[in-house]
Amino acid sequence: MKWFQWNPADYIGIHTLGEMLALMPPSPIQQMPKIITLLENPSSPIYLPGPAKIDVHDVLHCLVLRGLRAQDEAFVIGFTMGASKNASAADRIAFKNLAGALYPKPFHFSDSDLRVFDIGFDLGLSCERRNLHLLDAVEFKSLTWSEARAQASIEPSLLLAAFQREVDLNLLTKASKRASITMDVIRGHQENM
């Protein structure tokens, strides 16, 4: 499997988050560009709200059932930032401007990616539990998706609404086309519980 084909929704009912992550192909990226490290790394002196260590960031991909395409990354970063208790509208705008202008390929976010960032940000704002970027990755890796989602206070109805907003944008990207399938997986998983 190629890295961009990995989708945690494919494993929602049969694996823990740790097992989902073990199926993630290794990233072809050897080193992150400095601008990304400055804005997204918790050890950076100028990070924006919601900086997550890489193991937590990967867990968050599983929690919100997003793959590894740029659009998925934009959603996860938006979600993480929106769930931060320190996030503001100014931070949202700053990230979009910086990521849209300064992130090099293949990390550059297109206008459609940044629209999906907004959807993730709004989902993060709606979460009862704040600061998900500080969750214990080891603990969450031992949980099923349903257990982890409940512990993170991510309501399935809100996650479905976020995917529906993305579908309604009609972006015609591979990540957006997969959103409809992911919605069906979430609904099916809820029915089997």
Question: Considering its fold, how many domains does the chain have in total?
Answer: 1
* Residue (of 79, 45, 48, 72) closest to 152 by Cα position: 79
Q: What is the pLDDT of residues 117-152, one digit of tens each?
A: 999 999 999 999 999 999 999 999 999 999 999 999
> Is 98 part of any domain?
yes
- Specify the 3-state DSSP secondary structure of 110: coil
**8 Å CB contact between 77 and 182:** no
> Is 74 part of any domain?
yes
Tell me the residue range of the domain where 108 lies.
Answer: 19-24+31-155
Task: Enter the tokens of residue 181.
Answer: 């399938």
Q: Which residues are bridge partners to 16 per DSSP? A: 144
Task: Enter the tokens of residue 33.
Answer: 């560009």
> Is 169 part of any domain?
no
Q: What is the pLDDT of residues 76-115, one digit of tens each?
A: 999 999 999 999 999 999 999 999 999 998 899 999 999 9
Q: Report if pTM > 0.85.
A: yes
